[in-house]
Amino acid sequence: MSVKHTTEKALQMLRSLPRVTIGNIRDNPQSKQNPKRGRGQHGGDKHGAGNKGSGQRQNYMRLGYETGNTPFYMRFSYEPYYKGHHLKREYPPISLHQLQKLIDTDRLCTRAPIDLTTICNTGLFEIRPDLLHHGVQLTDEGADDFQAKINIEVQHAPESVIAAIERNGGVIRTAYYDPHSLYAVVNPKKWFEKGVPIPRRMLPPQDAVAYYTDARNRGYLADPEQISQERLVLAQKYGYTLPKIEDDPDYAMLTEAKDPRQIFYGLNPGWVISLKDRAIIREKQ
């Protein structure tokens, strides 16, 4: 049989056969064979679980248990840098890049002061006082691209973040909230629905007093005159011209600040907010 005759025969067969689809293809004959069951190793009495012990009863030992020996994590002396680790305050980070994105997407308004309540109301950040969260820390990621002029209050901020905000004519302040006040700050609606008075913010603990009274950290307990001097020092250090807040049309907004005992703007401690009646119940003078 010639090659030409074979080719024509193959082409004629292809013309007569239907198109190849999922519905008309099949495996080659005897390409799949059912595996035979092998000879039982234990005659079927163990059911593949082995001889006695944990493997058969499936009561496996917990991680770290060394069958009665002194465990590895107890075999060595206590490391002092873990002392009080479970009691340390935590500050979940928020970058300047994220803050700029919130402003550009109208989740944050720059015409009013921004605090922890405003950040939590965006629904994108969760602060849990039960996990020792004491607020947020502002990080310098995206500091070169930050362009907003804001009045913001956070709980921790490095020097580079302070410079990035003040370079644009903004104001930053670091403030402390005690755990009891944080429950009201992170979810005001839930707190108001309970019908209890707004709590009074407590002063920072002994190990945090130095941070919040330091003008270099823009602490809310620092001397305002020292803060003005430190603003000039930081501008000279980073090489930018410090805008004059006094000549700014938003001077009232930029200088608005809470009392050290206050946790909400415009609402004093001891007041009761009734959402149902849309009323504010003030204490008697």
Strands (E), 41-198: 93-95, 137-139, 151-154, 171-174
| Boundaries of every domain in the chain | 86-281
* Nearest-angstrom CA–CA distance, 83 and 204: 21
The pLDDT tens digits for 53-78 are 777 787 888 888 888 889 888 888 77
Distance CA 132, CA 178 (A): 10
* Separate counts of helices (H) and strands (E) for the chain: 10, 6
**At CA 218, angle to CA 212 and CA 223, rounded to 5?**
80
Could you tell me the CA-to-CA distances from 87 to 82, 83, 128, 134 in Å, in that order? 10, 9, 14, 12
Q: pLDDT > 90: what percent of the chain?
A: 62
Residue at token pair 């004093």: 268
CA dist 162 and 235 (Å) reads 10
On whether the CB atoms of residues 212 and 221 are closer than 8 A, the answer is yes
The pLDDT confidence band at residue 93, using thresholds 50, 70 and 90, is: very high
222 pLDDT exceeds 90? yes
pLDDT at 1 over 60: no
* Structure tokens given for 56: 């058969």
Q: Bigger pLDDT: 284 or 208?
A: 208
Residue (of 140, 183, 135) closest to 155 by Cα position = 135
User: Looking at the chain, how many residues does it have?
Assistant: 285
Burial of residue 51 (CB within 10 Å: 0-12, 13-18, 19+) is: exposed
Stated as kind and residue range, the H or E segment containing 272 is strand 272-274
CA 81 to chain centroid: 25
**Least confident span in 52-61, 174-183, 241-250:** 52-61
Whole-angstrom distance, CA of residue 117 vs CA of residue 175: 13
Of the two residues 25 and 96, the one the predictor is more confident about is: 96
Domain 86-281 fold is Ribosomal Protein L15; Chain: K; domain 2 (3.100.10)
Q: Which residues pair with 160 in a beta bridge?
A: none
What is the model's pLDDT at position 115? 94
Token pair listed for 130 = 């039960």
**Per-residue model confidence (pLDDT) at position 38:** 61
273 and 192 Cβ atoms separated by less than 8 Å: yes
